[in-house]
Amino acid sequence: MLSDGTVKIFPRLNTIINIDDQIIVIAEDDGKIILSPNYLLRINNEHSRLVSSSFINHNTVLLSNSMTRGATKIIERNLLLGWNKKAPLITKELDSYVARGSELHVLTNSDRITQFINEQLVNELTEQKIFVYSGSLTNRFDLEKLNLFSYDYVILLANEESEQQNLIEEADAECLICLLHLKNIIDKSNKEKTFSIVAEMYDIRNCQLANTTCADDFIVSPNLISKYISQLSENKNIKKVYDVLLTVDGPEIYSCLASMFVPLETPISYYQILQKTLKYQCLAIGYRLMKYLHDETRFFGIVLNPDKEEQIIFSQNDKIIILAENFMSSAPHSTHIINTEQFLAENRGEQCMVGRFSSESSAKVNNHALPPE
């Protein structure tokens, strides 16, 4: 971050960092941001003047493990089950991410919501056509009529009535019932599940119950908002960073096959991985080992900000997690973008939705072309 408040996520490699500039750091906690004495000594030698730790602004902008969003616009057909006060914002956020000609189908049993969508919300969308179906997310018959396999993403929201009455357990119970219905429909179809399901939950403990369902990711809205606020209270500059990260034109997080950058079944240091990704104008921020996909004790295989000297052996389908602005244009040829998944680890590694978030709500999950896992 420059001294004038301008945020540069991808500065040029030859950028000169001035004394009043700040470094954006990914760290588990601000107490673990420790500058090496050798680093300070090198700066001293290069600039021929005394530099001590007092010159370093320790109000560095802390980026916790909570940056997300997908990237390239494509035509999508998405399904929104349920409705609450966050749904209009989610719908409009989706409109910024999909290509013209996309469709959003909404299931609700409220005439008032249907009227709002058809008379007002439809006029605020430019890329999506929106269709409303009457039904309940806990009614299996209503769900069966929707032809689930025709969608790219299914987003499940708690109903507005439960949210307004602060009936958190009831709202989560409805979501769990819906997820069980969806799982049963998928299992009985004998078809391969080709779409992602993201469910909003209010109580993080219920995510553990839902792990037995067909949901791919979960988002716990109160947790995300509280974490954002707590970071903002520690450092007001964090807002400027999130404003850049959480806009359509800002950098995106991708989870790509490790084979795009490094050889498989060969030990390689994380420092070497960083150098490989920088070659394509992107930055590695972690990796995922798919053999731990269902192991909660290993955070489902996700490792963020590992030690640079750590030796890693990647196998087929393992991922490198990167931050990039225009990755499609600079990516290695004959490769493709893979799924951004289960990324906001909520500090405990719970599976959760990955997408674009504002301080008011959650929005988009953007998973692309992932082979079945």
**Residue 59 sits in the same domain as residue 82:** no
For residues 220 and 94, state if they share a domain: yes
- Number of Cβ within 10 Å of residue 165's Cβ equals 10
Looking at the 3D structure of the chain, how many domains does it have? Answer: 3
| Per-residue model confidence (pLDDT) at position 354 | 32
Is 245 among the domain residues?
no
In a domain, 29, yes or no: yes
Q: Which stretches in the chain have pLDDT values below 50? A: 47-71, 329-330, 333-373
Q: Do 6 and 36 belong to one domain?
A: yes
Note the Cα 214 to chain centre separation in Å. 19
Under the phi-then-psi rule, with left for phi > 0, alpha for psi from -120 to 50, and beta for the rest, what region is 281?
left
What is the domain range of residue 319?
A: 252-324
The Cα–Cα gap between 254 and 260 comes to 12
Per-residue model confidence (pLDDT) at position 229: 63
In a domain, 246, yes or no: no
Which of 306, 276, 274, 272 minimizes the C-alpha distance to 288? 306
- The predicted pLDDT at position 297 comes to 82
**In a shared domain, residues 109 and 181:** yes
Same domain, 161 and 220: yes
* pTM > 0.75: no
Q: What is the pLDDT of residues 37-95, one digit of tens each?
A: 565 555 555 544 433 333 333 333 333 333 333 345 789 999 999 898 888 988 988 88
Domain co-membership, 294 together with 162: no
Same domain, 115 and 198: yes
What's the pLDDT at 332? Answer: 54
The β-bridge partners of 222 are none
User: Domain boundary residue among 22, 37, 66?
Assistant: 66
From 12, 44, 66, the end of a domain falls on: 66
Q: Are 157 and 258 members of one domain?
A: no
The answer to whether residues 81 and 206 belong to one domain is yes
In sequence order, the β-bridge partners of residue 240 are none
pLDDT at 360: 32
CATH number at 133 reads: 3.40.50.720
For 273-314, how does the pLDDT look when each residue is reduced to its tens digit (9 = 90+)? Answer: 998 888 888 889 999 999 988 787 888 888 988 888 889 999
302 lies in the same domain as 192: no
Look at residue 312 and tell me if it is in a domain.
Answer: yes
Q: Are residues 122 and 14 in the same domain?
A: no
